[in-house]
Amino acid sequence: MVEEDFVKHWTSKAAALGILLLIALCSVSLQAETGENVWLRYAPLDTHATQQYSTLPAVVTVLDDSAVLNSAQREIVRGVHGMLGRTLRESNGLPTEPAIVLGTFSSLSGLASAAKQPRDLVPGSYVLTTGKIHGMECIIIEGPDADGVLYGAFAFLNKIAFHQSLATLHEVQQPSAPVRWVDQWDNLNGTIERGYAGPSIFFDHDTVRPDLSRASEYARILASVGLNGCNVNNVNASPHMLDDGMIRQLARIADVFRPWGVKMAISVDLASPKSVGGLDTFDPLDPKVIAWWQHKVDEIYKQIPDFGGFTVKADSEGQPGPSSYGRSPADAANMLATALKPHGGVLLYRAFVYNHHLDWTNPKNDRARAAYDIFHPLDGKFDDNVIIQIKYGPIDFQVREPVSPLFSGLEKTNEAIELQVTQEYTGQQRHLCYLAPLWKEVFDFDLHAHGQSTPVKDLITGKTFHRPTGGFVGVVNVGMDGNWMGNPMALANVYSFGRLAWNPNQSVKDITEDWTRLTFGDDPLVVETVVNMQLASWPAYEDYTGPLGLQTLTNILGPHYGPGVESSENNGWGQWHRADHEGVGMDRSVATGTGFVGQYPPAVTKMYESVQTTPDNLLLFFHHVPYTYKLHSGKTVIQELYDLHYQGAERAYEFISQWEALRGRIDDERYDFILNKFKYQAGHAIVWRDAVCNWFFRESGIADAKGRVGHHPDRVEAEDMKLDGYAPIDISPWENASGGKGIECAESAKTCTASYQFTKPAGWYEIDVQYFDQMNGQSKFQVMVRQQLIDEWIADDHLPAMKPNGDSSTRRWIIGIALRPGDDIRIVGTPDNGERAPLDYIRIVPWHEARAARGSENRASESRAEGMASTAKAKAAGTSSK
Amino acid sequence: MVEEDFVKHWTSKAAALGILLLIALCSVSLQAETGENVWLRYAPLDTHATQQYSTLPAVVTVLDDSAVLNSAQREIVRGVHGMLGRTLRESNGLPTEPAIVLGTFSSLSGLASAAKQPRDLVPGSYVLTTGKIHGMECIIIEGPDADGVLYGAFAFLNKIAFHQSLATLHEVQQPSAPVRWVDQWDNLNGTIERGYAGPSIFFDHDTVRPDLSRASEYARILASVGLNGCNVNNVNASPHMLDDGMIRQLARIADVFRPWGVKMAISVDLASPKSVGGLDTFDPLDPKVIAWWQHKVDEIYKQIPDFGGFTVKADSEGQPGPSSYGRSPADAANMLATALKPHGGVLLYRAFVYNHHLDWTNPKNDRARAAYDIFHPLDGKFDDNVIIQIKYGPIDFQVREPVSPLFSGLEKTNEAIELQVTQEYTGQQRHLCYLAPLWKEVFDFDLHAHGQSTPVKDLITGKTFHRPTGGFVGVVNVGMDGNWMGNPMALANVYSFGRLAWNPNQSVKDITEDWTRLTFGDDPLVVETVVNMQLASWPAYEDYTGPLGLQTLTNILGPHYGPGVESSENNGWGQWHRADHEGVGMDRSVATGTGFVGQYPPAVTKMYESVQTTPDNLLLFFHHVPYTYKLHSGKTVIQELYDLHYQGAERAYEFISQWEALRGRIDDERYDFILNKFKYQAGHAIVWRDAVCNWFFRESGIADAKGRVGHHPDRVEAEDMKLDGYAPIDISPWENASGGKGIECAESAKTCTASYQFTKPAGWYEIDVQYFDQMNGQSKFQVMVRQQLIDEWIADDHLPAMKPNGDSSTRRWIIGIALRPGDDIRIVGTPDNGERAPLDYIRIVPWHEARAARGSENRASESRAEGMASTAKAKAAGTSSK
């Protein structure tokens, strides 16, 4: 029966699309805002804004039959449904009425509009235009390939989201480079190295997850900002990635990526032929090894015809590599590239190769030199489908580094920049640290290769040395958490990475504003506040963690999170700042230091070789100077160190009240979630500030001219309180707790109390409780004033520590408490498991002072909101430049 | 050790208060808005509004040690913490600094302010004032008893919530009557008769719930609007309420009520001495029966010293009563009252006594007469602690009735009015039907007893005939659902009941505005919109269910929900409208009818006796008239019937877009939840409209002058579509489905399709799917246009029906669909369990017409919002009158 056939047809179609459509049609009105829909919320426009789209065509038609074009078509149906409340008709073939037409140049050739198509657009480009096809007025979304049409579809939807006119479209966009990839450092067991948002969306229990709906959604998110590749596993790769059964499973990931134009790639372990392949060697020049890899690659392409390629981390941090056989990275890379080449795959070889057993007593040793020293001599020796993947700086994703000299050290080799979207060294998504401004500085940094203007963006996109294959790799590490990154605010980094990889010339402020409007809506106060906070966040984080080129002064031997000033010294990892009693900084000059500065082209070498011409913010990366050295700012190094740490922590503190001004202007779920993150950040910024300042105060012996460092009259150290059940403990390293000490409950205690008799004048106070929240327990804390319980909470955050230290130190802000002299203030801790209700100190400060410091008193918003409204209006009219 | 004692002390205190405090301190920022916190959200004021409270005292002190005063103190701490972010100090005894002082008159006597206390305030009254105590400037919250101080504390917090000045307070409030109770019709098994918000908060599995935190919270909610009693079980009472074990359990409920000044009461079954007491009789004059009850009552008071009393439903709807022994209600009531009197308890005897086996063929029979006929002759025969509890009208909580003549028929007897807050006949909280305007009309209705002005409010509060003990009983029936009533909007009925019971002279508009601001915040557009919707809702519901005095034309033999025009005819229940081919209405006149009109005092009798002087909105309650009878409006009865039904359904339809204009102005959770309720209501209002109009069209044979009734050119009947797997079914009663028929899947079908070829011009359309959503299954529906899935959903609502009818009929609104001639529109149903994806019809209407009908096109909000802003401002300044 016809009826039955029809039912079968749509049933199978619905089975494939069903979940997606339900999400698409219902998400706007029925789902709470968790961040899950990222910037693709397609929130309904208000009635006024919808009016200009009343003449929108009713049909969206695709001229070619392809999975990617079907995604583009469905995305437009979904987006228009969400924003305008209309369900467009899906159609195939030439329009018989006014339509939105999706097609590649070839399918549109011969039709009216085709004549206007620009020549020579690179793959992924798109053209938005209007024109007549078969006599019908159409909106035409076209490109040289299906991927381009898909990107055009997202661009079209953004025009509606930004209330821009669709009356006359003529927009041509092309991506800056072919490689716009993300890396995921996912392990087969489901964990993610440096992932801060739950387990892997790809792997669980050493297999690919049965349900890959999150992976599919991830591909859609990547495509929406023009990203076109995803390496799904840790660069510290498991050899089992190449097991036959695993390749079959990986093909399932590639299947859900494909409709979004995202190529799947994997990291491989160079030792695989030996460790899992049954060979006695993995020498890249051994014929058996070559054959083994060729066979593997052929096997992969049989199941994944559009497989992207391999990423290799070798001879680095314990990973095996060609050096075991005296072979060079070029030998290894070319061997793999040869196998990939017939299938169109690429080989990304990471330049992050260094010896982590350096002799730290030799002042000429310098980890920063490694990448250039190893790869520069090999320039020209790599095959055409090899790309050298270079971290932005010579160390490892620090809060600030100079750009890697290797970008200008490879002229006959493809290169890609590796950026870290996951905030390994920059607050792990608990701290707001928006990295687009950092990346923008890197892209725009002029290396002056051959004395010409050669900004990094021109080198990596191949413009400078005419290399066809290069671009951008971002380490993202999304996880199963609903909001993808662990914090909705951190998605700005994902969005901006995509936007900048597409076009590194775009204004970061514009990108940030776009992200904010798509994520939180058009309220001018919201847009201005969020954009300002994002833009202020990286400088703030740099200031309170490692300014003046010190890099992130974190515990580099641990989770890379809290402060650990000495952890980078006196070991082989080479991430040194060389601070001693007299001075600080690592001399990397040619004249007296490690010579690293000499790796740059002459103009840059000249700038960094001299203490005078090195910018303040990188001074200590390049030079060792006395603490009393006068900066360009006119301050001494030590005083600037103190000032910047205080300034950064103050900025973080102000984030709380800046965010609080948005209450009721965005949804409560995200408001509450993010507010708690800001409260945490403000507290942890103080931990950072104090740790670094106290450490340098002790090392230098030079007091803070403003009298702050080491003086905390508002604090009551827990160890100085009257203790019952609690006992003092030493915190390691000492600078991570106030006074170097804390308290925790005795092993047998059921509850413990620490009490203090208040002596200041009667009035309204804020009581801040600095405590430790470990992973191995959920202690309970209660605060009593006299017999009145004024606050209680469970220490159930998931901070990366099993003991009280700078990683677990956190703060409870208790505002608006009436105190008077003689009041008994008492903390009651109830230990749980290995976490013994540990406390560092309490801080009691007059409430009006605390409010003034947060900026709550003068946060008048109306005039600023009006200023922003005109900006948003100009943008809606399409008059703002990009 | 002192330390340990202290820990013990606060531990036990914290155990009692812990959960409460955690809620109190965290609820504002961490909990989603579910309606759980009703009007007691204590949402933070914005910074600007907090400034005037900067000099608020830091301490709140209680002068007497009582559970109720401690509640008042904690409530002030909680409210101020939420709204102003300050934690006040809790103190006891005379203030030593500026303070908020809570105390009874007696504890304040002799202190400076006491001299100013008004004399002779009734229990529960409060005084808010400022003054010096021991030289300290204080805010004084006082009353003749602790309950009054508690009510004063809530009033004080409201002043802050409404941004009113606290500089000079002098406010005296006293309640209108001593009985301000709620009834819960909860059964011991946990179900609730006429409850629409989940199971009982008191009972489960024939016992009292172990966790009574919701019951405690309910008492707090009641106290916040001055309600002081709660009868916890169904008036159709289980005799097991009086089991010894149960009394012990009931004492636990009383324990959680007590700190909030709420007395617990229960309903009793008069037959208990026989059914569970082992006696052979329950004759109220039998000494054994008298002794049994006295013993029971003494037992109760031993465990519940402040027990409120009994409620009795007897000789009514199958309940046993004194008539079995030829005794009168007075005999039964006085017997119980005598037992209660020494303990201070009261006996509420319901006047809802009638014969539900009336001979419907006798035109002189009239259920409306029963209460007056039975109770008026007994006036003066009831003891002083008996209260006759009289439903507002002579029938049963219909959408409109005249007031009961019994209010003026008892001069020497205490009386209380019984109102229904749970919307049994008024939409069961799925329909917005705000009843405060109905109650206000009742309170203000002048019965002209003895030719004087005697509005109902003066009769029930005892003013007219100087009866000391009377008041207000509201049947609320909250349940375990987070939002208490099944719909956050329905909480306005609870709030208004309390406010009006406290003072029936208050303006309903003011009360509604207060509720709205406390519930949804101060946004002027929100406040104006919600207030307008609430005030429009009862007239709209009346119009589309039973206007002109027809009462609610619901299925009175079923769930009292959907339409059932004939269900009240031809049976003994006496709720008749007497419609036939010629005319409609029940003749209750003295001259030619049942004589009910003669039960009123002469002035009222005169008004209702004449067709001409009876108001249109009660005409058919009192008179039988031809369909062509001309109303005061100038229209015929039949045309007005049609017009009002269309008008009411249109108002309900407009609610959708009125609510949609608030998107982003209130929290998403409640916005979404309530929007879905409005969409449902708009669809069900059409079911009502069509059922009643079609029924009267067939009965009268008179066509709608406007051509609407029976003409639905936009509809495609499901039974007229091309069916595969589906088969037509008859719906009963016929008027509850369009065309009297629907379709459902054949018993064996896996999926079924109904399809239709569209023939109208190409354009944007709305497709409304009218289907049935039964309790006994969760069918799936999908809508395809050609092969495109445009919508799908699961029929998982919990409507009160096991088959397709007017109770289960519901609608899916699918907006913004592009259609063109020849399109195949197809509904695919997947049956589940007993629910076989039943469908009534689809409606296809041009989208711009649908939008215009909803009023979406011209919902300009700015000017209206401005108008409201000035109102809110005036109110904040305290200049608005109440």
Rounded Cα gap, residues A367 and A572, in angstroms: 9
Rounded Cα gap, residues B469 and B387, in angstroms: 7
Confidence bin at A864 (pLDDT 50/70/90): very low
What residue of A is the nearest CA neighbor of B663? A46
What residue of A is the nearest CA neighbor of B827? A7
Rounded Cα gap, residues B88 and B157, in angstroms: 13
Q: In sequence order, which residues have a C-beta less than 8 Å from that of residue A631 and are 6 or more positions away?
A: A548, A616, A619, A637, A640
Q: What is the pLDDT of residue B24?
A: 39
First to last CA, chain A: 57
> Tens digit of pLDDT for each residue in A373-406?
999 999 999 999 999 999 999 999 999 999 999 9
Q: Does residue A88 belong to the interface with chain B, where contact is any CB pair within 8 Å?
A: yes
Confidence bin at B359 (pLDDT 50/70/90): very high
No. of H helices and E strands in chain A? 22, 29
Q: Chain B neighbours among A 751-770 (CB < 8 Å)?
A: 751, 753, 762-764
> Tens digit of pLDDT for each residue in A246-257?
999 999 999 999
Q: What is the pLDDT of residue B27?
A: 34
CA distances (Å), origin A737, targets A581, A616, A772, A802: 22, 29, 10, 15
SS3 B43: coil
For A816, the closest of B13, B87, B788 (CB atoms) is B87
What residue of B is the nearest CA neighbor of A85? B816
- ipTM, interface predicted TM-score of the complex: 0.88
> Tens digit of pLDDT for each residue in B831-872?
999 999 999 999 999 999 998 888 765 443 333 333 344 444
**For residue B112, pLDDT beyond 80:** no
What is the token pair recorded at A778? 């959920």
The alpha-carbon gap from A436 to the nearest alpha carbon of chain B, in Å, equals 29
**For residue A350, pLDDT beyond 90:** yes
**For residue B654, pLDDT beyond 90:** yes
Q: What is the pLDDT of residue A113?
A: 56
Q: What angle do CA B207, B211, B215 make, to 5 degrees?
A: 90
SS3 B283: coil
The alpha-carbon gap from B857 to the nearest alpha carbon of chain A, in Å, equals 8
CA distances (Å), origin B159, targets B74, B152, B357, B497, B870: 17, 11, 54, 20, 18
Q: What is the pLDDT of residue A116?
A: 64
Comparing A448-457, A814-823, B854-863, B869-878, the range with the smallest average pLDDT is B869-878
Q: What is the pLDDT of residue A866?
A: 37
Q: Does residue B246 belong to the interface with chain A, where contact is any CB pair within 8 Å?
A: no
**For residue B878, pLDDT beyond 50:** no
Contact A25 B792 (CB under 8 A): yes
Q: What is the pLDDT of residue A857?
A: 53
B704-722: average pLDDT: 97
> Tens digit of pLDDT for each residue in B569-597?
989 998 999 999 999 999 999 999 999 99
Rounded Cα gap, residues A351 and A414, in angstroms: 12
Rounded Cα gap, residues B5 and A277, in angstroms: 70
Q: Does residue A44 belong to the interface with chain B, where contact is any CB pair within 8 Å?
A: yes
> Tens digit of pLDDT for each residue in B521-532?
999 999 999 999
C-beta of residue A573 within 8 angstroms of C-beta of residue A556: yes
Angle, helix B508-520 to helix B524-545, in steps of 10 degrees? 120
Q: Does residue A16 belong to the interface with chain B, where contact is any CB pair within 8 Å?
A: no
No. of H helices and E strands in chain B? 22, 29
C-beta of residue B715 within 8 angstroms of C-beta of residue B843: yes
Identity of the amino acid at B830 = T
**For residue B659, pLDDT beyond 50:** yes
Q: Does residue A23 belong to the interface with chain B, where contact is any CB pair within 8 Å?
A: no
Contact B32 A33 (CB under 8 A): no
**Residue A580: exposure state from Cβ atoms within 10 A (0-12, 13-18, ≥19):** exposed
Contact A18 B792 (CB under 8 A): yes
Which residues in chain B have their CB less than 8 angstroms from residue A97's CB?
762, 820
What is the token pair recorded at B628? 């062509």
CA distances (Å), origin A310, targets A313, A345, A758, A835, B395: 10, 8, 64, 43, 81
What residue of B is the nearest CA neighbor of A723? B3
Which residues in chain B have their CB less than 8 angstroms from residue A763's CB?
58
Q: What is the pLDDT of residue A34?
A: 78
**For residue A859, pLDDT beyond 80:** no
Which residues in chain A have their CB less than 8 angstroms from residue B664's CB?
521
Contact B789 A22 (CB under 8 A): no
- Of the candidates B50, B52, B60, B57, which has an alpha carbon nearest to the alpha carbon of residue B84? B50
Between A136 and B11, where is the model more confident? A136
Rounded Cα gap, residues A656 and A678, in angstroms: 6
In 3-state terms, chain A is what percent helix, strand and coil (to 5)? 40, 20, 40
Residues of B acting as catalytic residues? 317, 396, 424
C-beta of residue B91 within 8 angstroms of C-beta of residue B58: no
**For residue B391, pLDDT beyond 60:** yes
Q: Chain B neighbours among A 641-680 (CB < 8 Å)?
A: 663-664, 667-669, 672, 675
Identity of the amino acid at B874 = A
Q: Does residue A603 belong to the interface with chain B, where contact is any CB pair within 8 Å?
A: no
Q: Chain A neighbours among B 379-438 (CB < 8 Å)?
A: none
**Residue A761: exposure state from Cβ atoms within 10 A (0-12, 13-18, ≥19):** exposed
Between B480 and A6, where is the model more confident? B480
What residue of B is the nearest CA neighbor of A24? B791
Between A866 and B654, where is the model more confident? B654
Q: Chain B neighbours among A 814-873 (CB < 8 Å)?
A: 814-818, 820, 826, 828, 856, 859
The alpha-carbon gap from A88 to the nearest alpha carbon of chain B, in Å, equals 6
Q: What is the pLDDT of residue B15?
A: 41
In 3-state terms, chain B is what percent helix, strand and coil (to 5)? 40, 20, 40
- Of the candidates A550, A523, A421, which has an alpha carbon nearest to the alpha carbon of residue A478? A421
Any idea what DSSP says for residue B726? E
C-beta of residue A719 within 8 angstroms of C-beta of residue A742: yes
Contact A788 B672 (CB under 8 A): no
What is the token pair recorded at A591? 């004249």
Rg (CA), chain A: 29
What is the helix (H) or strand (E) element at residue B535, kind and residue range? helix B524-545
What residue of A is the nearest CA neighbor of B754? A3
* Secondary structure (H, E, C), A373-421: HHHHHHCCCCCCCEEEEEECCCCCCCCCCCCCHHHHCCCCCEEEEEEEC
Q: Are strands B471-475 and B179-183 parallel, antiparallel or unpaired?
A: parallel
What is the token pair recorded at A268? 């491989």
Contact A86 B17 (CB under 8 A): no
The alpha-carbon gap from B790 to the nearest alpha carbon of chain A, in Å, equals 7
Mutate to test the interface with B, among A87, A658, A765 (most CBs of B within 10 A): A87
Q: What is the pLDDT of residue B113?
A: 56
Contact B820 A97 (CB under 8 A): yes
Residue A92 phi, psi dihedral angles, 5° rounding = -125, 145
Share of chain B above pLDDT 70, in %: 93
Confidence bin at B13 (pLDDT 50/70/90): very low
Identity of the amino acid at A110 = G
The chain-wide mean pLDDT, for chain B, equals 92
Rounded Cα gap, residues A21 and B787, in angstroms: 14
Contact B859 A47 (CB under 8 A): yes
CA B500 to chain centre: 13
Buried b (16+ CB within 10 A) or exposed e, A10-44: bbeebeeeeebbbbbbebbbeeebebbbbbbbbbb
Buried b (16+ CB within 10 A) or exposed e, A450-473: eeeebbbbbbbbbebbebebbbbb
Mutate to test the interface with A, among B1, B3, B756 (most CBs of A within 10 A): B3
Rounded Cα gap, residues A607 and A812, in angstroms: 46
Comparing A128-132, A602-606, A777-781, A852-856, the range with the smallest average pLDDT is A852-856
CA A548 to chain centre: 22
**For residue A220, pLDDT beyond 70:** yes
Chains A & B: contacts with CB separation below 8 Å: 148
Contact B818 A664 (CB under 8 A): no
Confidence bin at B120 (pLDDT 50/70/90): confident
> Tens digit of pLDDT for each residue in B682-695?
999 999 999 999 99
